[in-house]
A and B are shown apart, each in its own frame.
Chain A
Amino acid sequence: MRIVVPIKQVPETNAVRMDEATGTMIREGVEAIINPLDLYAIEAAIRLRESHGGEVTAVSMGPPKAMTALREAMAMGCDTAVLLSDKAFAGSDTWATSYVLSAAVRRLGEFDLVLCGERATDGDTGQVGPGIAAFLGLPVVSYVSRIESVSDGRCRMHRLVEDGYEVLEADLPCVLTVVKEISDPRLPTLRGKQKAKRADVPVWTMGDLDVEPSKLGLEGSPTRVVKIFRPSVARKCEKLVAADETSVALAADRVVEFLQTRELI
């Protein structure tokens, strides 16, 4: 099997702090990691290769430092990797990102599956997986929680939905987005790390892909961020202090009274 896993390098979100004065993100000292939800796609891909043979290729669009994420993916067990990096890609929204990633998948040649994480923890859109499928003219199965079998050019899987799961069968090739339930991502081995360090990871720029420049980056992105802000205070909070037995009792009484006036109890 040939499997392509698009991954994204993201800031370690819990570490992101905001500059209260300017409303901007403080980037210094924020570690960049593989999007945690992509690890499940990497793991699922490696397991399929282990049982069916073949090759897993990780691909990422990002700045040159995203190379680290690709080497980490290789240390986990991906066979090859490609970095898509070009100033022309900067400022891409999910439309333009899906466009570039799908062009890279095409250039990689024949494949059976594209496995994506459900979404990235920074952008949180979950739009790029289905977007890649649309550009490739392939069906997408999202929220895949289990791959039951892959045989005879078909993949049978579970898709988590609101009230249960669907059992679906898809013709290959197709694009899947996977959820946490699919696997427990392995840790890179020391040998894997050494191999990944030495590996030759090509960098593809705009010129290496069959893409129209007008559809790239900010220019190619239909959406525009017009404003970034911290949410405003919506409610007047009646604050009570509950420091000792008496004040705890008084506070509890006040809450009960408040809930009664609002007819909540």
Chain B
Amino acid sequence: MQHSGVWILAEQQGGRVQRISHELLTRGRALADKRGCELAAVIFGNRIDDADLAELLERGADRVIAMESPRLEHFLIEPYAACLLKLLADRRPEIVIAGATTTGRTLMPYVAILAHAGLTADCTELDIEEKTGNLLQTRPAIGGNILATIKTPRHRPQMATVRPRSTRPADRTPGRVGEIERLAAPADLPPSRVRRVDFVPNADEHGLQDADAVVAVGRGIKKADNLPVARKLADALGAALGATRDVVDRGWLSYPHQIGLSGKTVTPRLYVALGVSGSIQHLAGMQTAETIVAVNTDPDAQIFRVADVGIVGSLFDVAPALTVKLRAAQGKPGGEGTER
């Protein structure tokens, strides 16, 4: 049997489909259209919301394969891997894409070994090679200094993970239909040697990845004492505060603020970079922002290569001036701008 079809690995929590699933549909749809094949969303869980499954169709899946069991309620490597391996063996998809989440980054490498498949982590771009139909997977390499395009010429399926928030969720077309298969997990699922005893949610959700606007600081901020300059601008924009690896490594801001290859990926509508040089490691985490404004004293800073507007100057001059002007623009009576 030939391998065919593109799969995305959707994720659920408490029976509700997570946003990453919709982002994966954006990636998957483009690939399935290029290959002229079916796009299926595969999801493991227990009592998954019906409307959420239908929404996967509305957002571009042709088929939903939902495998359910109380033992699949939460991610545990053995039952999840066993179910995915069974589906792969039965249906032989050509391409499988998952989110580079704590689940995807654990399940995919485990399954890729046992399926003898090629797997590429953290892809920023996925495409189909015209002549061969192979999946072209592009990702930052060598500490994020360069990009590498990788393919899997002989092994199937071709597997890849993509970072959450590296693309927008697929648009919803109400009424778009397809097939929803609800399957029970195989009866011979082996017992899990890992058990989930408890879950402790984060006390404070940082919200960086959900923010519409982000103000990020780089080494140009010089010291933690200078952070209020950035915070005030962030407040004026209703933005979350982010940072480069340099800033976090120096202890000026905590790790949850880190944006880049080794931190979070964000896709806000507006990204303001203050004193950020723009290493590829950092760009990997933010270059998909809709609009990028950069302030840097170095006219040749890499960050200007991805910016829409670049200001060559000191952030200590520009950020306060911008904060004042923004406040004024927003406070203007009859103005279009509203505070977000």
Query: Which A residues fall within an 8 A CB radius of B?
Result: 11, 13-14, 16, 18, 23, 25, 93-95, 98-99, 121-131, 133-135, 138-143, 156, 158-171, 174, 180, 221-231, 233-243, 247-249, 251-256, 258-260, 262-265
A224-B143 contact, Cβ under 8 Å, with A93-B118, A126-B121, A255-B311: no
A232 to B47, CA, bound (A): 45
| Partner of B310 from A14, A134, A228, A238 at Cβ < 8 Å | A238
A230 to B278, CA, bound (A): 13
For A174, what are the chain B residues with a Cβ–Cβ distance below 8 Å? Answer: 193-194
Asked if B308 is at the interface (CB within 8 A of a chain A CB), the reply is yes
- Secondary structure of the B contact surface, majority rule: mixed
A260-B309 contact, Cβ under 8 Å, with A16-B145, A142-B102, A223-B118: no
A91 to B308, CA, bound (A): 40
For B146, what are the chain A residues with a Cβ–Cβ distance below 8 Å? Answer: 18, 23, 25, 228-230
Contact across chains for A252 and B109 when beta carbons are under 8 A apart: no
Count B-side interface residues using an 8 Å CB cutoff.
94
Q: Supply 22 A–B pairs (Cβ within 8 Å), ascending by A.
A: A16-B143, A94-B119, A95-B113, A124-B121, A125-B122, A131-B110, A131-B113, A133-B77, A141-B77, A142-B105, A164-B202, A167-B196, A228-B149, A229-B148, A229-B149, A231-B147, A233-B306, A236-B308, A237-B309, A238-B310, A248-B321, A256-B322
Of listed B109, B119, B330, residue having the most chain A CB within 10 A: B109
Contact across chains for A13 and B119 when beta carbons are under 8 A apart: no
Besides A133-B110, A243-B312, A248-B317, 10 other A-B contacts (C-beta < 8 A): A128-B109, A131-B110, A140-B110, A222-B117, A231-B283, A235-B308, A237-B304, A240-B313, A256-B322, A264-B291
Kindly count the residue-residue contacts between A and B in the assembled complex, taking CB atoms under 8 Å apart. Answer: 272
Chain B residue nearest in CB terms to A93: B118
For B143, what are the chain A residues with a Cβ–Cβ distance below 8 Å? Answer: 11, 13-14, 16, 121-122, 124
A228-B141 contact, Cβ under 8 Å, with A242-B313, A258-B309: yes
A233-B305 contact, Cβ under 8 Å, with A224-B150, A247-B313, A251-B311: yes
Contact across chains for A169 and B308 when beta carbons are under 8 A apart: no
A234-B196 contact, Cβ under 8 Å, with A139-B78, A252-B325, A265-B237: no
A127 to B104, CA, bound (A): 11
Ranked 10 nearest A-B pairs via Cβ: A242-B313, A222-B118, A13-B143, A134-B113, A127-B109, A167-B198, A222-B155, A164-B201, A130-B109, A125-B121
Asked if B69 is at the interface (CB within 8 A of a chain A CB), the reply is no
Contact across chains for B152 and A223 when beta carbons are under 8 A apart: yes
Asked if B131 is at the interface (CB within 8 A of a chain A CB), the reply is no
Chain B residue nearest in CB terms to A262: B291
A260 to B31, CA, bound (A): 35
Asked if B200 is at the interface (CB within 8 A of a chain A CB), the reply is yes
| Partner of A171 from B122, B193, B340 at Cβ < 8 Å | B193
Contact across chains for B145 and A224 when beta carbons are under 8 A apart: no
| Partner of B200 from A93, A127, A164, A241 at Cβ < 8 Å | A164
Chain B residue nearest in CB terms to A240: B311
Contact across chains for A240 and B291 when beta carbons are under 8 A apart: no
Of listed A98, A170, A259, residue having the most chain B CB within 10 A: A259
Minimum distance in angstroms from B98 CB to a CB of chain A: 12
A11 to B153, CA, bound (A): 29
